[in-house]
Amino acid sequence: MSDPTVTVTIKLFAAYQEAYGMPELVLALPQGATVAEVCDRLLQEHPELEQWRSLTRFGVNYQFVEPDWVLQDGDEVVLIPPVSGG
């Protein structure tokens, strides 16, 4: 029997979107995974994003959350790095 997983949609903005070349990802994660683990995974795949780790804010289902937020199946996660412009 396989370990239970949750499937989440990751909305990418700014530097994250540039690194991945797409606006969103769908990931299968172990049950009990946190937003911080999503961030860790993305930074492992794209180490150039490491500079944004401490500045990135997180949202789940349209509300800001802390990195230790536990994800549920079907959640929509956003990683929001600082942006500039006018």
Q: Under a CB-based contact definition with an 8 Å cutoff, are residues 11 and 78 in contact?
A: yes
Q: Under a CB-based contact definition with an 8 Å cutoff, are residues 40 and 53 in contact?
A: no
Task: Give the pLDDT of residue 54.
Answer: 93
Spatial neighbors of 68 by CB under 8 A, at least 6 apart, are 34, 35, 36
Q: Which structure tokens are listed for 39?
A: 């961030």
Distance of CA 82 to the CA centre of its chain: 15
- What pLDDT, in 10s, does the model give residues 16-39? 999 999 999 999 999 999 999 999
Mean pLDDT of 45-68: 96
Q: Which structure tokens are listed for 82?
A: 């600082």
Task: Give the pLDDT of residue 82.
Answer: 81
Residue 76: strand, helix, or coil: strand
Residue 86 pLDDT greater than 70, yes or no = no
CATH architecture of 13-80: Roll (3.10)
- What pLDDT, in 10s, does the model give residues 2-21? 679 999 999 999 999 999 99
What is the spatial order of strands in the sheet that 24-30 belongs to? 24-30, 5-12, 76-80, 57-60, 63-65
